[in-house]
C-alpha cells in the first residue's frame, strides 16, 4: 500500500467528524481536492520529496492543526519527509491574526518548494469557497493569500499561477 493511500485513510478517519465551515460538506472533501491538485504536478521527486510523500503530506496537512494528532504521530507512521511537510503546512503560530499570518509567511518562505506547492493547492481549494460564502472576510483572506504567494518563491510555478487567479464566483 502506498504511503499516500495510507495517509488518505488516516486523514479521512482523523477528520471524520469535521465539516467545511461554509458548505457543511465533509472536511475530507477539501483534503481530497488538495491531494488531487498536488497529484497533477507531483510526477517526480521535488527537493527530496517523492510524489507519494507530497500527496501524503497534502492529505495530512491539517491533521496536526485541526485534530488530536501530533507531528510525532505523523513521523512514526509516515516518516520524516511527510512529517516535515505537515510541519511546514501547519499554522501553529501564536498571537493576534496579523502576527500569526506574518509568522506563517516567514515559515512558508523557508520551506522547500514541494511544501510551498502543497500550500498553493490548499489556497486554490480554499479561495473559491471563501469568496463565494463570505465576501466580507474574503477581502482580508485575499490580501493574506497574496502575501503568502509573494513569500513562496519555490513553489511549482503552474500551481502558483493558478493560486494567484481570483476565482470567478457565479
CA 11-17-18 angle, 5° bins: 75
Indicate the SS3 state at residue 43. Answer: coil
The mean pLDDT of 1-16, rounded to a whole number, is 96
Identify which of 142, 147, 149 has the alpha carbon closest to the alpha carbon of residue 100: 147
The whole-angstrom separation of Cα 103 and Cα 92 is 9
The catalytically annotated residue of 47, 65, 106, 166 is: 65
| pLDDT tens-digit readout, 31-59 | 999 999 999 999 776 778 999 999 999 99
Mean pLDDT score across all residues of the chain: 93
pLDDT confidence of residue 83:
98
User: Between 1.10.3720.10, 3.40.50.720, 3.30.1390.10, 1.10.3210.10, what CATH number should domain 3-164 receive?
Assistant: 1.10.3210.10
Count CB-CB contacts under 10 A for residue 31: 25
Give the pLDDT confidence of 17-31 residue by residue, as tens digits. 999 888 889 999 999
Instruction: Confirm if 52 and 4 have CB atoms less than 8 A apart.
Output: yes
Task: Give me the phi and psi of 19, to 5 degrees please.
Answer: -125, 160
| C-alpha span between 116 and 151 (Å, rounded) | 9
- Distances, alpha carbon 107 to alpha carbons 39, 140, 151, in Å: 23, 20, 9
Rounded to whole angstroms, the Cα distance separating 46 from 49 reads: 5
Please indicate whether residue 62 is annotated as part of the active site: no
Q: Domain map of the chain by residue range?
A: 3-164
The pLDDT value given to residue 145: 96
Given the residues 29, 33, 66, 134, the one annotated as active site? 66
Q: Is 133 exposed, middle or buried (0-12, 13-18, 19+ CB in 10 A)?
A: middle
Residue 122 annotated as catalytic: no
pTM, 2 dp: 0.94
Q: What are phi and psi of 68, to 5 degrees?
A: -85, 60
pLDDT digits (tens, 9 = 90+) for 81-110: 999 999 999 987 789 999 999 999 999 999
Q: What are the distances in angstroms from CA 160 to CA 15, 19, 24, 75?
A: 27, 26, 28, 27
Amino acid at each position: 500500500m502506498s504511503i499516500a493511500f495510507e495517509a488518505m485513510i488516516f486523514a479521512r478517519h482523523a477528520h471524520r467528524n469535521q465539516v467545511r465551515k461554509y458548505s457543511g460538506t465533509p472536511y475530507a472533501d477539501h483534503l481530497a481536492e488538495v491531494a488531487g491538485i498536488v497529484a497533477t504536478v507531483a510526477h517526480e521527486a521535488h527537493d527530496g520529496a517523492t510524489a507519494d510523500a507530497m500527496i501524503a503530506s497534502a492529505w495530512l496537512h491539517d491533521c496536526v492543526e485541526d485534530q488530536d494528532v501530533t507531528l510525532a504521530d505523523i513521523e512514526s507512521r509516515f516518516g520524516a519527509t511527510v512529517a516535515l511537510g505537515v510541519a511546514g503546512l501547519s499554522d501553529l503560530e501564536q498571537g493576534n491574526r496579523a502576527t500569526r499570518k506574518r509568522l506563517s509567511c516567514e515559515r512558508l518562505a523557508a520551506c522547500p518548494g514541494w511544501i510551498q506547492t502543497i500550500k498553493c493547492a490548499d489556497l486554490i481549494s480554499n479561495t473559491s469557497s471563501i469568496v463565494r460564502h463570505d465576501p466580507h472576510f474574503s477581502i482580508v483572506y485575499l490580501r493574506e493569500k497574496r502575501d503568502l504567494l509573494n513569500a513562496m518563491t519555490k513553489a511549482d510555478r503552474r500551481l502558483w499561477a493558478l493560486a494567484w487567479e481570483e476565482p470567478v464566483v457565479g
